[in-house]
Amino acid sequence: MIPIFVTFMLVAAHMALADTNMLQDFCVADLSNGLKVNGYPCKDPAKVTPEDFYFIGLATAAATANSSMGSAVTGANVEKVPGLNTLGVSISRIDYAPGGLNPPHLHPRASEAIFVLEGRLFVGFLTTTGKLISKHVNKGDVFVFPKALLHFQQNPNKAPASVLAAFDSQLPGTQVVGPSLFGSNPPIPDDLLAKAFGAAAPEIQKIKGKFPPKK
């Protein structure tokens, strides 16, 4: 499994060619600076430590019990691993309870490749023409989601599942369909959503009640 994962990460790194070329060995993010211009300013190289390139958070499964969807995402992006700044890659671990779902969402700044660590999942994405590309994937399988397309992962089984997800961005961003449309701040008008979804305003209000507005 280790050689497969190493190959998996090398492929993800190759995908990062879309990012700007490096002009120095690294540019560890100075997260304390507060400035953010399409990335973070570089920390003084004299103050860089091994911890800037290290993260232990993916070693164990995250708790899914408190998630309404039965899934938990643990990200290792530039905000957790400052050494990823300007490198154009990041990784996440996603854990799924039996019956869990990582609901339809998209990453505006990255393609994604998942490697199944444990379990069996039903995964898929939607093309811009509305075609569903989906498949059941098993332990050791890899599946790719193209940049900015809606996609999902579901665990329809009675056992937990988990994946590692590689991205060709240090900060892929995530936009989940339900909370984005029905929990925006300020809220999208009910009549607009009612017309868009062919539903009555009271139905829209009921759905909005499930997604508290973002602060």
Tell me if 118 is assigned to a ligand binding site.
no
Tell me if 151 is assigned to a ligand binding site.
yes
Tens of pLDDT, residue by residue over 169-206, are 999 999 999 999 999 999 999 999 999 999 999 999 99
Backbone dihedral region for residue 203 (phi beyond 0: left; psi -120 to 50: alpha; all else: beta): alpha
What's domain 1-173's architecture?
Answer: Sandwich (2.60)
pTM of the full predicted structure?
0.86
Cα–Cα nearest to 140, from 111, 171, 115 = 115
Tens of pLDDT, residue by residue over 196-206, are 999 999 999 99
Domain positions in the chain: 1-173, 179-209
Tell me if 107 is assigned to a ligand binding site.
yes
Return phi, psi of residue 57, to 5°. -65, -10
| 138 CB-contact burial (10 Å; exposed 0-12 / middle 13-18 / buried 19+) | exposed
- Give the pLDDT score at 17: 47
Cα–Cα nearest to 141, from 159, 157, 122, 125 = 122
What's the rounded Cα separation, in Å, for the pair 88 and 81? 12
Tens of pLDDT, residue by residue over 86-99, are 999 999 999 999 99
- pLDDT above 60: residue 14: no
Tens of pLDDT, residue by residue over 22-76, are 678 889 999 987 777 778 999 999 999 999 999 999 999 999 998 999 999 999 9
